[in-house]
């Protein structure tokens, strides 16, 4: 007799999703390839333990990564087997809570994207003079387990699902030096089920609270990052104090350096205020020169790729060290970097694509250095640049950004 009913096909489907998402090795150093080499045995063991109630998640591998804004973030990397088990739970859990989530919650949700959040934020900045930009300090690290489980039990009546979510919340961190750290709060950023748990927590902590107490102030939230639109400065100041109190009740706090009130200054908004721009999801919102269909110049509050995002992309190009890869052909080089360039353009090219040009010209400069390293007869920036420009006109499909007509290494 099985304590819990979980079909074997669900476990197999869970593995397929985990494989598609890829991911690093956990504390057991077992790769996806090694796990798959004994797939039937591994999946049977997970199914057997989950259905009998005897599944206990192993410790989560603690990995520090660099944050885009500086500093480091602690990721928790589960083993491949544990990711499969978490995916089984997510397959059951997500449909139970997803249908209740707010329309303006955009993070980690199928059918919603960061670009959707940027687009609606642009529209609302045109309609409202003020924005409260906020960021929650260490959301994934500080979620209160008791409050979270209260929300879980509100929507979940499946005993095994509640049991395993509790166990995943308590799974300890294991550091590279072997040190094991017990956890009494938070859900590891890097876990399969963590994003939906964080969204559920924020659904009651923020989304429903805003709906109940400030229904006249539209917002867009992407996990722990968000913006709220206000009609007046007084409204924004009052909201900021109310939000601090609300988060304190839920054992969270605002990030002091990433939370502020912003005036959406443009042609029609003439007043002064210290903050007239903000960054949200890699885009910088501020007043920008625009041209009407009739050619008239005006100034509007609009998003474009942020300076921080451009800096990160340029750093990535430098890390490629293309000039040290003369052994590659130009076709091999394009296959290696095109997927990344395509991702940048697809994301940051939605609004004012021309702001991407400095980054793409920077890439061309890196390609010129590769040409100099590759061909002795083309030594010198001018000669190599002309050769690359001719190639770009002859074969514009070779690199994604060449299709946009960006052939030169200037800018």
Average pLDDT over residues 186-195: 93
DSSP assignment of 99-113 equals TTS-TTB-TT-TT--
Rounded to the nearest 10 degrees, how much is the dihedral formed by the CA atoms of 223, 228, 234, 237? Answer: 10
Question: How do residues 345-403 score in pLDDT, each as one tens digit?
Answer: 999 999 999 999 999 999 999 999 999 999 988 888 889 999 999 999 999 999 999 98
Q: Are strands 260-263 and 283-291 parallel, antiparallel or unpaired?
A: unpaired
Candidates 312, 404, 407, 330; CA nearest to 365 is: 407
**pLDDT value at 96 more than 50:** yes
* pLDDT of 380: 87
Average pLDDT in the chain: 93
Question: How do residues 144-161 score in pLDDT, each as one tens digit?
Answer: 999 999 999 999 999 999
Locate 274 and state its tokens: 């210290």
d(CA 335, CA 236): 48
d(CA 20, CA 258): 34
* pLDDT of 271: 83
* pLDDT of 411: 41
Sheet holding 180-181, edge to edge: 72-77, 60-66, 173-174, 180-181
CB 15 within 8 A of CB 43: yes
Percentage of the chain beyond pLDDT 90 is 85
* pLDDT of 279: 97
Question: How do residues 333-356 score in pLDDT, each as one tens digit?
Answer: 999 999 999 999 999 999 999 999
d(CA 206, CA 211): 9
* pLDDT of 93: 98
The least confident of 58-67, 104-113, 194-203 is: 58-67
Contact residues for 184 (Cβ-Cβ < 8 A; gap 6+): 145
Candidates 100, 85, 67, 81; CA nearest to 30 is: 81
What 169-173 contacts at long range (C-beta under 8 Å, 24+ apart), as own/partner pairs, is: 169/145, 170/145, 171/57, 171/58, 171/59, 171/60, 171/78, 171/82, 172/59, 172/60, 173/59, 173/60, 173/61, 173/62, 173/74, 173/76
d(CA 132, CA 278): 10
* pLDDT of 68: 66
List Cα–Cα distances, 66 to 35, 114, 317, in angstroms: 28, 21, 17
pLDDT confidence bin for 1, thresholds 50/70/90: low
Question: How do residues 256-288 score in pLDDT, each as one tens digit?
Answer: 999 999 999 998 888 889 999 999 999 999 999
Q: Are strands 130-135 and 225-230 parallel, antiparallel or unpaired?
A: antiparallel
* pLDDT of 147: 97
pLDDT confidence bin for 65, thresholds 50/70/90: confident
72 forms beta bridges with 66
List Cα–Cα distances, 139 to 222, 251, 297, in angstroms: 12, 10, 43
The least confident of 35-39, 296-300, 314-318, 343-347 is: 296-300
């Amino acid at each position: 007799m099985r304590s819990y009913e979980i079909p074997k096909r669900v476990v197999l489907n869970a593995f397929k999703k985990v494989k598609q998402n890829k991911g690093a090795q956990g504390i057991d150093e077992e790769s996806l390839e090694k796990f798959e080499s004994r797939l039937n045995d591994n999946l049977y063991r997970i199914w057997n333990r989950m259905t009998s109630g005897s599944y206990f998640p192993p410790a989560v591998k603690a990995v520090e990564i660099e944050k885009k804004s500086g500093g480091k973030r602690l990721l928790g990397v589960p083993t491949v087997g544990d990711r499969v088990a978490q995916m089984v739970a997510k397959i059951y859990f997500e449909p139970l809570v997803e249908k209740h989530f707010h329309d303006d919650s955009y993070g980690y949700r199928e059918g919603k994207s960061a670009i959707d959040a940027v687009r609606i934020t642009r529209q609302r900045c045109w309609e409202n003079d003020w924005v409260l930009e906020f960021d929650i300090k260490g959301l994934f690290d500080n979620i209160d387990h008791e409050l979270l489980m209260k929300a879980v039990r509100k929507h979940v009546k499946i005993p095994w699902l509640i049991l395993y979510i509790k166990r995943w919340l308590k799974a300890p961190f294991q550091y590279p030096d072997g040190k094991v750290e017990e956890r009494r709060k938070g859900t590891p950023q890097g876990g399969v089920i963590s994003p939906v748990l964080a969204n559920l927590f924020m659904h009651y902590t923020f989304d429903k609270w805003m709906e109940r107490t400030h229904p006249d102030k539209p917002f867009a939230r992407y996990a722990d990052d968000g913006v709220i639109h206000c009609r007046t400065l007084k409204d924004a100041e009052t909201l900021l104090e109310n939000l601090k109190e609300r988060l304190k009740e839920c054992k969270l706090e605002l990030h002091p350096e990433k939370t502020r009130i912003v005036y959406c200054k443009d042609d029609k908004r003439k007043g002064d205020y210290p903050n007239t721009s903000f960054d949200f999801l890699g885009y910088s919102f501020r007043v920008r020169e625009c041209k009407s269909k009739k050619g008239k110049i005006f100034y509007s509050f609009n998003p474009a790729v942020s300076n921080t995002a451009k800096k990160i992309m340029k750093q990535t190009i430098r890390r490629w060290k293309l000039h040290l890869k003369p052994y590659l052909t130009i076709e091999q080089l394009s296959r290696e970097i095109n997927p990344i360039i395509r991702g940048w353009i697809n994301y940051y090219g939605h609004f004012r694509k021309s702001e991407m040009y400095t980054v793409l010209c920077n890439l061309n400069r890196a390609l010129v250095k590769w040409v100099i390293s590759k061909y002795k007869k083309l030594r010198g920036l001018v000669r190599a640049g002309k050769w690359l420009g001719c190639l770009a006109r002859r074969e514009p499909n070779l690199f994604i950004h060449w299709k946009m007509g960006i052939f030169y290494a200037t800018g």
